[in-house]
Structure 1
Amino acid sequence: MIKMATNLGLLAISLTMLLFAEKKISDKQTPDTKVLQLISGLSKLMASLLFVYFFWANTAASNLFSISLSSSSSFGTLILLGLAFSFAGDLLLLPRGNSRFFLAGIGAFALAHIAYGFAFLKLLVEPDVILISTLLTLPAAAITYHWLSPHLTGRFRVLVSIYLGLISLMVIIGTAAGVSSNNYWIASGAIIFAVSDIYVARNRFVSAGFVNRLIGLPLYYSAQIMIAYGALIVIHGQVNLSSG
């Protein structure tokens, strides 16, 4: 297995370059904006490729998309799809100030949440744990929508509510499945992914600024690595999959 430390080191370098470029762009004190945007874009893509590659390289890649419908095979495929859709979302969000690309990017992340949710359903889930997860997640989602609602107009009112519903389901299932199977990497990753999305929404709808990237980006990449690592623990047999 590729060492976590190696992947984290490369990710830290990419993320540092990304945040450095974003800070300089936000300061608007340099004429080299295009160069900084290029550095930002390349650093972001590198960081995103790392979590996809980390998972791919540590699984039986040749068998991942086999026709077999075994739980382990389909679980790994769904996780890889979630990571790939997340990468696509990062790619689509690179153009700045483009509403069409923003909507396409959010659509890709919505597909990532769906893929993760179906993957987490393959883990053993205790009914009482999923009930507690639901009771904690739904109020948080309602508060988030209430906070965003005054800043939403037109189609974004519907789209954001749908997106919040999808990510809430992913968090409910991921948290319950992770806790039930003692896989706290997955549980933590699901929650942190949702928190990072709050900063994307804050930057787009409430108050744009570097602070959203400073907090949101490290949370986002941490979440993806946690989910990937937690999934690897499952695939390598340290956590049982459900038979359904």
Structure 2
Amino acid sequence: MAALPTYIVLLATLSVAAMLFADQRAPQLEWLFKPLASLCFVALALQAGALESTYGLLLLSGLILCLFGDVLLIPANDNTFIAGLSSFLLGHLLFALAFLQLPPKQSAMLISLLPVAALGIISLRWLWPHLPPNMKAPVCAYVAVICAMLIAASSSWGTGPGAWIILGAWGFAISDLSVARNQFFSPRFSNRLWGIPLYFGSQLLLAWSVSLT
């Protein structure tokens, strides 16, 4: 395994901190710091050797789609939100395909079915009363894809990058709840305060998992 490039992690950490600090004072700065933080997880995957394997290429493609999704979620309107949701959905699918490139452990996938189903059902029951009619189908599709990604991530248990993948995938999924809460029924800074660091930290874990394959 190559040495973790701490300068990329440090830049990502500073970008996330600056984004949160500017949230209440200069929201327009999100256009600078959010893409910069997203570029960090793409750069980390490249540094980890993402161009050298099918796993790496699929994961890198998913990370790039997430970068686009991050930018599309900056404006506060429904059209760009749906576009961002679609970009993340495709990114999750590519992550799932990447995870399945590793030697799959079917027993781990079976064990994961219950907690993954619980997350999906609880999330939809929580969100459903607050979703506008035009968002119900896209959100259902998104939750289904997240669940598929988590099950695929569990198949990596016991492989070199397995712990990084599982932590990153679950962190990513849970961070989505902060976005949903902020978008649909309780827009507060507290959502971003925990959701944004969890999201970017999870993406960095997934990006560096490439170095362990």
Give the TM-score normalised by the residue count of structure 2: 0.94
Verify: 1:159 aligned to 2:160, yes or no: no
Partner amino acid, structure 2, of 1:22: D
| Partner residue, 2:54 | 74
Tell me, yes or no, if the aligned pair for 1:48 and 1:90 is still in contact at 8 Å.
Answer: yes
Which of 226, 231, 234 is the matching residue for 2:210?
231
Asked if the contact 2:49–2:211 (Cα under 8 Å) also holds between the matched residues in 1, the reply is yes
* Structure 1: distance between partners of 2:116 and 2:150: 7
Q: Contact between 1:129 and 1:180, CA under 8 Å: does it hold in 2? A: no
**Contact 1:125–1:180 under 8 Å retained in 2:** no
Give the structure 2 partner of residue 115 of structure 1. 94
Please identify the structure whose Cα radius of gyration is greater: 1
| Amino acid corresponding to residue 181 of structure 1 in structure 2 | T
Quick one: distance in 2 between partners of 1:204 and 1:113?
20
Q: After the TM superposition, which segments of 4 or more aligned residues of structure 1 sit over 6 Å from their partners?
A: none
**What do the CA deviations read for 1:81-128 (whole angstroms, capped 9, x no partner)?**
0110000001111112x1110100000000110000000011122221
In 2, Cα distance between equivalents of 1:215 and 1:23: 15
SS at match of 1:3: coil
> TM-score with structure 1 length normalisation?
0.83
Q: Does the residue aligned with 1:75 lie in a helix, a strand or coil?
A: helix
Task: Give the deviation of 1:55 after TM superposition.
Answer: 1.1
Cα–Cα, structure 1 residues 10 and 39, in superposed 2: closer, same or farther, change >3 Å?
same
Q: Report the RMSD for the aligned CA atoms in angstroms.
A: 1.4
State the match for 2:173 in structure 1.
194
Match of 2:42 in 1: 52
- For the residue of structure 1 that corresponds to 2:155, the secondary structure is helix
Deviations 1:8-63 (A, max 9, x none): 21111111110001133xxxxxxxxxxx1332220111100111011113326xxx
Select 2:70's aligned residue among 86, 90, 111. Answer: 90
Displacement of 1:2 in angstroms is 6.4
Residue 237 of structure 1 is matched in structure 2 by none
Number of matched pairs? 211
1:181 and 2:159 aligned? yes
Alpha-carbon distance in 2 for matches of 1:90, 1:44: 7
Q: CA offsets, 1:117-141, max 9 Å, x none?
A: 0000111222211101112111111
Task: Name the residue aligned to 1:42.
Answer: 32
- Paired AA for residue 140 in structure 2: S
- Classify the secondary structure of the residue corresponding to 1:123: coil
The alignment status of 1:101 with 2:64, answered yes or no, reads no
Instruction: Indicate the structure whose relative CO is greater, using CA pairs within 8 Å and at least 6 residues apart.
Output: 2
Q: Is the 8 A contact 1:175 1:191 kept in 2?
A: no
Note the C-alpha offset of 1:6. Answer: 1.7
C-alpha separation between the residues in 1 aligned to 2:192 and 2:142?
20
